[in-house]
Structure 1
Amino acid sequence: MGRVVCVASLLVLSSVWMVQTVPVLLEPFIPTKENFDLDQFMGRWNEVAVVSTCPHYMQRKRRNPIIVALELQHGASDGNFTMTATGFRNGSCHQTSTDYRLTNTTGRFFHHVARFRADVDSFVVHYKHDEYAVIRLLSIEQPSGNKTTTFKLYSRRMSVGAAVLGDFKALVRQHGVSDVAIIMNRNKGVCVPGERAHGRHSSTSTSSPSHSNELRGHLHAETTDRCLYESVTGCACTPCLASVFFFPGGGK
């Protein structure tokens, strides 16, 4: 009898130890693409569509829905890679980059944005290495705990086929997001860092009231665009996270 009690006690203690040492998943399990190959995932992508649960980001994104070119390259170590983004902001072409850390789950990546104290997990949920990739992002901002879910559609070209877009819409609907809200980014042409779009330069020297109003409008638009540009997981201009890589690295 004493042996039985002893064994039972050991089992209870073992169970308690397991409960204390096994990490608790704070978010529901998100399956990633089977047979994901990181080497094949590297290279050039274009962000052609996006939808987010952050209404403030969506409002700003609709004002300037541009395709952002993404270049993924292996990092200095086997545990990370770099995403370089190139796109237009305020009429000029800009480029920035973000370092991503690999996790123990294939097809799942992580990065932290110290400026906004935000953690971002990225999941490759659907993928065909020579055609398209669907990324789901979960962002948590501290100390507010604000959470944002974002779905992004990448393409090796400047567009995707109807079947791929249909699958993307279906996935979004499955997670309670209306596919009507999906923003299709537009191709603004070749973006060379440092150059202005279409070669247009503004040159005004008047200080008339109408010019002042125009200048204020320009500064407002510039602030809006900068908010997007600096937003990896959020922007100081918004009360919620904008976990979309409008320009990865801008929030650092």
Structure 2
Amino acid sequence: MQRTFAWLLDRVRHLGAPVTLRASYLEIYNEQVRDLLSLGAPRPLPVRWNKTQGFYVEQLRVVEFGSLGALMELMQMGLSRRRSSAHSLNQASSRSHALLTLYISRQTMPPVDPGEPPVGGKLCFVDLAGSEKVAATGSRGELMLEANSINRSLLALGHCISLLLDPQRKQSHIPFRDSKLTKLLADSLGGHGVTLMVACVSPSVQCLPETLSTLRYASRAQRVTTRPQAPKIYGKWFHVAMGSTCPWLKKFMDRMSMSTLVLGEGAKDKEISMTSTRWRRGTCEEISGAYEKTDTDGKFLYHKPRWNITMESYVVHTNYDEYAILLTKKFSHHHGPTITAKLYGRQPQLRESLLEEFREVALGVGIPEDSIFTMADKGECVPGEQEPEPSPLTRARRAVLPQEEEGSGARLLATDFSKKEDACQLGHAEGPCLGMVTRYFYNGSSMACETFQYGGCLGNGNNFASEKECLQTCRTVAACNLPIVTGPCRGYNQLWAFDAVQGKCVLFTYGGCQGNGNKFYSEKECREYCGVPGNGDEELLPIAS
């Protein structure tokens, strides 16, 4: 959760409009809603419903925050008030369900109407109390009443999930009113949000029945499909600036002008229709197609049958009503892998700060400085219209970056990000995209390569596809003084390590996880790295007296 909070605050800092962050924290205890952030002692609050808000908690305290520390204080305050008790299986068993909700609201920039209300959304974290078998926990009295209340609410939630899986659910009544829990989760399960359930299970054989039951419950929840609202990105966009690692792009910069892009509902549920209008070879040309949605929020695919390629596009920064920055990755048999960055605006002109932000994004993914530019604004056109003879002034283009001497800004192309010499000293960076790709980063404190979840775009150079690549790039000579660690996993990998006591490289069996940098993939690599002479050189070593 803390990583999510930090990511959210970081994204807020990059938005070009004022953002307000607020939080509420409540628990559902014995079918009563209690405010965990109330100024006084928590007391039961009613759950109401109206057409605008749906189900909501009346008089619930919502607190504004602006930093990670402030949010963590609110969270700790709520946790200290939450009901918990001990029984025979758990010394600190949660006796309630808890909902921590973050509210994000943003004023449009610039506002269309001074009285226009802010737009926003919410992020809700739900901690469900586990189902209990009273006979197993030995609960009596109040503990038994709490267990029965927990089980009833989980049963009501499971019933709603089962009905949502019914293909005819649009015609079915979903009984969200059966419990306070299902009322407050109605918009998460049956609305337009994105919902993820995380199941907590035990490796103990004694808990096998509960583990299987929990996994079945989560499996059913996983099959519930919601329809996230996407129209915020729909509508007309102007292609304001671009940059690419493609080497031939610079040859055609003077021929490229601003185009318009219109996005809308696709013919299929998982598609977004696309219509682009642009000047090409003196004629206004219209191109239509469709972006394919993926399971990763902000990631789309675009197929070009003519070239037999599929391009991956990521929306890495946007506030929807002013600008959007896209990164597109593609592989061409002629030019290899390339990355293209594009800046779109709702208007043809954008703030200088947005151009600078786009410049930093483009440079960060390895696009040369002399391949980042703004598009010439020739005005909108009608498909089939002929362009009047352009003058040199019309073709002029204002560069995003000041042009230096020929070749001074060029550097090696990068398919994901620039790898700098000091990248191994950086911390790992998940990046703004929302993928879950397992990658490796070098941890200078432990002198080991560890895994992290990479979002799929941006990030930094401390990001490797394999542990081997990570170690061979970042490991230092100090690794030779580390102990030989097999790790807790049970793999069987024969590797080499330097034994500092014996002063030589030895074979050992590596389990496959949680080792350190004293791990080499050949005896030669170990010897060269740790300064061990070859077999024919031992006689040159001085003999210790």
TM over 0.5: yes
Which secondary structure state, in structure 2, belongs to the residue aligned with residue 115 of structure 1? coil
Structure-1 separation of matches of 2:281 and 2:368: 30
Structure 2 residue aligned with 1:80: 271
1:53 to 2:53 alignment = no
Q: Which segments of structure 1 move beyond 6 Å, counting only runs of 4 or more?
A: none
What is the CA distance between 1:119 and its match in structure 2? 1.4
Q: How does 1:135-174 map to 2 (within 5 A)?
A: 135-141=326-332, 146-174=336-364
Alpha-carbon distance change, 199 to 63 in structure 1, aligned in 2, over 3 angstroms: closer
Structure-1 separation of matches of 2:249 and 2:386: 24
Alpha carbons 2:246, 2:335 under 8 Å: kept: no
Alpha-carbon distance change, 168 to 145 in structure 1, aligned in 2, over 3 angstroms: closer
Amino acid at match of 1:55: P
Aligned residue among 153, 170, 181 for 2:371: 181
Structure-2 separation of matches of 1:195 and 1:105: 39
Structure-1 separation of matches of 2:335 and 2:248: 17
Alpha carbons 1:47, 1:68 under 8 Å: kept: yes
Higher RCO, 1 vs 2 (CA within 8 Å, ≥6 residues apart)? 1
Aligned residue among 70, 93, 97 for 2:261: 70
Task: Single out whichever of 129-138 and 73-82 deviates more from structure 2.
Answer: 73-82
Alpha carbons 2:245, 2:366 under 8 Å: kept: no
Structure-2 separation of matches of 1:126 and 1:37: 18
1:39 to 2:235 alignment = no
Alpha-carbon distance change, 145 to 166 in structure 1, aligned in 2, over 3 angstroms: closer
Amino acid at match of 2:342: K
Amino acid at match of 1:49: A
Q: How does 1:87-236 map to 2 (within 5 A)?
A: 87-141=278-332, 146-198=336-388
Structure-2 separation of matches of 1:180 and 1:57: 10
Alpha carbons 1:65, 1:183 under 8 Å: kept: no
Structure 1 residue aligned with 2:104: none
What is the CA distance between 1:176 and its match in structure 2? 2.5
Structure 2 unaligned runs (5+)? 1-227, 391-545
Alpha carbons 2:259, 2:380 under 8 Å: kept: no
Structure-2 separation of matches of 1:173 and 1:194: 36
Alpha carbons 2:267, 2:273 under 8 Å: kept: no
What is the CA distance between 1:63 and its match in structure 2? 2.2
Amino acid at match of 1:101: E
Amino acid at match of 2:241: A
What is the CA distance between 1:194 and its match in structure 2? 1.2
- Cα offsets for 1:187-227 (capped at 9, x unmatched): 11230111112499xxxxxxxxxxxxxxxxxxxxxxxxxxx
Amino acid at match of 1:173: L
Amino acid at match of 1:185: M
Structure-2 separation of matches of 1:185 and 1:64: 10
Structure 1 unaligned runs (5+)? 1-35, 201-252
Which secondary structure state, in structure 1, belongs to the residue aligned with residue 328 of structure 2? strand
- Cα offsets for 1:43-71 (capped at 9, x unmatched): 000111010101112321x1213001111
Which secondary structure state, in structure 2, belongs to the residue aligned with residue 188 of structure 1? coil
Alpha carbons 2:260, 2:380 under 8 Å: kept: no
Which secondary structure state, in structure 2, belongs to the residue aligned with residue 59 of structure 1? helix
What is the CA distance between 1:149 and its match in structure 2? 0.4
Amino acid at match of 1:44: K
Structure-2 separation of matches of 1:176 and 1:199: 36
Structure-2 separation of matches of 1:50 and 1:172: 8
Alpha carbons 2:263, 2:275 under 8 Å: kept: yes
Alpha carbons 1:117, 1:141 under 8 Å: kept: no
- Cα offsets for 1:106-129 (capped at 9, x unmatched): 111002222212110000000011
Structure-2 separation of matches of 1:123 and 1:98: 17
Which secondary structure state, in structure 1, belongs to the residue aligned with residue 379 of structure 2? coil
Structure-2 separation of matches of 1:66 and 1:145: 23
Alpha-carbon distance change, 183 to 199 in structure 1, aligned in 2, over 3 angstroms: closer
Structure-1 separation of matches of 2:389 and 2:307: 34
Identity of aligned residues (%): 32
- Cα offsets for 1:136-168 (capped at 9, x unmatched): 0000235x7821101000000002101111111
**RMSD of aligned alpha carbons:** 2.1
